[in-house]
Amino acid sequence: MTLKTRGVVLMWSAVGLVACGGSGTEAPPPPAETAGVVTSAVVPPCTGTNAWTTLGHDARRSSTSDGCAWHPLRKLWEYAPTAGAGRTVQGVERVVANTGGVYLTWNSNPNYVGSGGSPALDKLAVDTGANVWSVDRQLNDNRGHWPTMFTYEKNVGGGVYEAKEGIVRNDDGIRTWSQQFGANYYSGGTIPYAEYEQAPNDSWGQSLSDGTRLWVYNQLHYHGPKLGLRSMDKRGNLLLELNTYGYYGGTRVFPQHQWDTAEDRLGSIAADGGFIYLAAIYNFQCSTNCSATEPRPFATGLYGWDVATGTARWPRVALEPASHISVSGNRIYLLERDPATGTVTFNIRNAGYNGASLFRSAPLPASHLTGFQAPVLVAGRAIFAAQETSGSNLGTVLYSFDALSGGTPLTTTLTGVYDVIIPFYGRDLLDFSTTPFAGRRSTSIAAASGTKDDAGVSIPTLVITSRTGLHVVAVSTLSTLWSATKASLVGTSDGGALRDPVIVKDRVYVVDRNKVYALGL
């Protein structure tokens, strides 16, 4: 195997990070890097090329790339979006990326005072971070959902369609923008138009591609598409609608349309093996013309359908999800909350047999605050984080379960590391004025399955972002290999915590509320 050597510059400051094993015995912290030049960062070339296409990397929400994340990392470039005339930047959201570009979503000012911003999008060059194009279509209610890469088909004339690569935003409407050039401008105008506008307004939620279809979920019925899940083909045509409710644009009939609040407070979708799954926390409320006997359209729980036909895989599984879902084959992974006791457990469910529980962990300690990121699926493990909020060993607790059987977890405490768990109301200006659920969109763990150490030995790694900084952790042992404060890594402590890590090939991308940073060796 060919090795390559690169000189790297690293400004280091200790973060006081300690890794602790499941037995509670403290292990020594990793050795601090010497400030200045590290002259022999010897690593094998990274062969992974997977794109990070959506929330959780892929339709399975695995949060795992075939790329590499070794250490010491350094900042390669940074980028802050710039608004056009009469526009203002209200916050950076996150990126998706491939080897041809980095696509940054950010929040621009809305078209009326008091709304939640406008969803903007920039393409950046991978090598330099230079702006390639920007799209800022003035809308009025952005909620900061992850975009999705999708291969669409465009009529190029005479009924001839060509495959094109796009970026889909499902925020105040559903729009597919060109990866190549961004927007269309007609007749010398200044309004950016998408390649496809599948809905002009009031759709917000997760999206993904199953390789053939685009799936979008609308978490809230308002003045646009119905609440629910829908699929579209590569030419923007509607294929399926699942678990939908709404009346806007049609005739409102009582009592079946009495629910003037109709929302899913989680709206987690994931797909694999020809099936798509939804974990939902429904909220239906009626304020006028209410019938006490009218049932609510849908109940909180876990749902599954065939992606081609929309046939339900099994009846709804009654549960209360406490996280987003990830899926691998016939296994669905999530945290669940007991409605009676409030306790949280890690669960593996059998997608091939009625969504039945294959494994349920013991309840997590009441002092553990859990987040909404789906369990990370890497190297045969299912991994999630919790924050210890009491006692003498405060910090972030990592749990790693066998992805097939569950079993006894490997655990480690990252002492003094905070905000790996994104609070319910968000952080760093992510809690847009119209929604209290922005914290449910942010992530803090990304996995690199292609990482090799200095000797060329495979060592899958986790990249974990926090208020403290950034941490590289070995998947097999959960031991901390390397960490750095934000200030030492990117040169500033402004902009709040690092978050939403993305790994493509040998690059790690992270954001704060002001900028996106590209990291590498």
The Cβ-side half-sphere exposure at 420, using a 13 Å CA radius, reads 28
Question: Does residue 22 belong to any structural domain of this protein?
Answer: no
Q: What are phi and psi of 489, to 5 degrees?
A: -85, -45
401 contacts 382 by C-beta, under 8 angstroms:
yes
pLDDT at 14: 37
480 contacts 30 by C-beta, under 8 angstroms:
yes
pLDDT tens digit sequence for 381-416 = 999 999 999 988 899 999 999 999 999 999 999 999
Question: Does residue 7 belong to any structural domain of this protein?
Answer: no
Distance CA 69, CA 430 (A): 27
- Look over the chain and give the mean of its residue pLDDT values, rounded to a whole number: 88
User: What is the side-by-side strand order in the sheet with 507-511?
Assistant: 74-79, 516-520, 507-511, 499-504
Q: Check the CA dihedral 514-518-519-521 and report its sign.
A: negative
Question: Does residue 54 belong to any structural domain of this protein?
Answer: no
pLDDT at 37: 35
Distance CA 480, CA 437 (A): 31
Residue 371: name the closest of 312, 324, 304 by CA. Answer: 324
Question: Does residue 20 belong to any structural domain of this protein?
Answer: no
**Domain that includes residue 440, residue range:** 64-251+258-520
Name the one residue in this structure whose structure tokens are 């999008």: 121
Q: Reply yes or no on whether the pLDDT at 96 is more than 80.
A: yes
Lowest mean pLDDT among 12-21, 64-73, 157-166, 324-333: 12-21
Q: Reply yes or no on whether the pLDDT at 13 is more than 50.
A: no
376 contacts 326 by C-beta, under 8 angstroms:
yes
**Number of folded domains in the chain?**
1
Q: Reply yes or no on whether the pLDDT at 17 is more than 50.
A: no
Q: How much of the chain is helix, strand and coil, in % rounded to 5?
A: 0, 45, 55
What tokens appear for 280 in the block? 């939902």
Residue 69: name the closest of 373, 382, 502 by CA. Answer: 502
Q: Give yes or no for a cis peptide into 28 (omega within 30° of 0).
A: no
Q: Reply yes or no on whether the pLDDT at 34 is more than 90.
A: no
Q: Reply yes or no on whether the pLDDT at 352 is more than 80.
A: yes
* Amino acid, single-letter form, for residue 56: G
Question: Does residue 172 belong to any structural domain of this protein?
Answer: yes
Percent of the chain with pLDDT over 70: 88
Q: What mean pLDDT do residues 200-207 have?
A: 91
Question: What is the three-class DSSP state of 488?
Answer: helix
Question: Does residue 13 belong to any structural domain of this protein?
Answer: no
Question: Does residue 5 belong to any structural domain of this protein?
Answer: no
110 contacts 141 by C-beta, under 8 angstroms:
yes
Q: Reply yes or no on whether the pLDDT at 363 is more than 60.
A: yes
pLDDT at 86: 84
pLDDT tier for residue 27 given thresholds of 50, 70 and 90 = very low
483 contacts 470 by C-beta, under 8 angstroms:
yes
Question: Does residue 265 belong to any structural domain of this protein?
Answer: yes
Q: Reply yes or no on whether the pLDDT at 280 is more than 50.
A: yes
pLDDT at 430: 36
Lowest mean pLDDT among 42-46, 117-121, 209-213, 425-429: 425-429
Residue 355, phi-psi category: left (phi > 0), alpha (psi -120 to 50), beta (remainder): left
More confident residue, 383 or 40: 383
pLDDT tier for residue 105 given thresholds of 50, 70 and 90 = very high
CATH no. for residue 118? 2.130.10.10
